[in-house]
Amino acid sequence: MQRERLLDAARRALQESDFGSVRVSDVVRAAGMSSRSFYDHFATKEDLLLALIHQAGGNLTAELDAIFADALSFEEQTSRALAAYLAAFAGTPLDLEKLGESASAPVQKLLRHYVREVGVRVAAQLERAHRAGASRRPPDPIVLDVLLLGLLGIASSYVADGRRDQLASLQPTLRQFLLRVWS
């Protein structure tokens, strides 16, 4: 319960400021808790960041698994998967550009892990769609990596700039683009 309150407070703080500017004291104040409570759950602010990424990545991969398990059309699965992917970054707003090189090796490793996990799931679904005739060609792993990383960059940039509404309005265009690439 306390850990969740701290994670929620950190997410809210990240909607107002970038990770480098968010202080532990900001998080505990927003959570209505003490610094001691924070350190009962996290050794450092970076551990908090890792927990946020892990939570968002785990939620996203579980959501993709559920979307791809549903008997939906290829187009509907693409729409829902895209919405889930973009929402994951809007829900845990990290300015990846600012985080960039200053992100520790564990943070970079965890981000890469979840991008890979998403890629594995999307590639498997694209392969199933190809075998079912919903897609003319099997997925190209390089194209898939470029698309996922590009979407990550777009989402990160829009969220960091406070343009969540504009990101949401891009979804139909991004959906059409993905369907064109994958069909």
pLDDT (tens digit per residue) in 51-85 = 988 998 999 999 999 999 988 888 899 999 999 98
Mean pLDDT of 80-106: 72
Instruction: Find where tokens 């950190």 sit.
Output: 10
Cα angle 135-155-63, degrees, rounded to a multiple of 5:
60
Cα–Cα dist 164/86, whole Å:
10
Mean pLDDT of 6-24: 83
At 39 the pLDDT is 94
| Among 82, 80, 84, 83, residue whose Cα is nearest residue 60 | 84
Selected from 3.40.50.150, 3.40.1010.10, 1.20.120.1200, 1.10.10.60, the CATH number assigned to the domain covering 1-42 reads 1.10.10.60
The residues of the chain that CATH labels 1.10.10.60 are 1-42
Looking at 1-5, 16-20, 160-164, which range is the least confident one?
A: 16-20
The residues of the chain that CATH labels 1.10.357 are 49-182
**Model's pTM, two decimal places?**
0.84
- Burial of residue 81 (number of CB atoms within 10 Å: 0-12, 13-18, 19+): buried
Check whether domain 49-182 has CATH 3.90.105, yes or no: no
Instruction: Find where tokens 């309005």 sit.
Output: 169
At 94 the pLDDT is 62
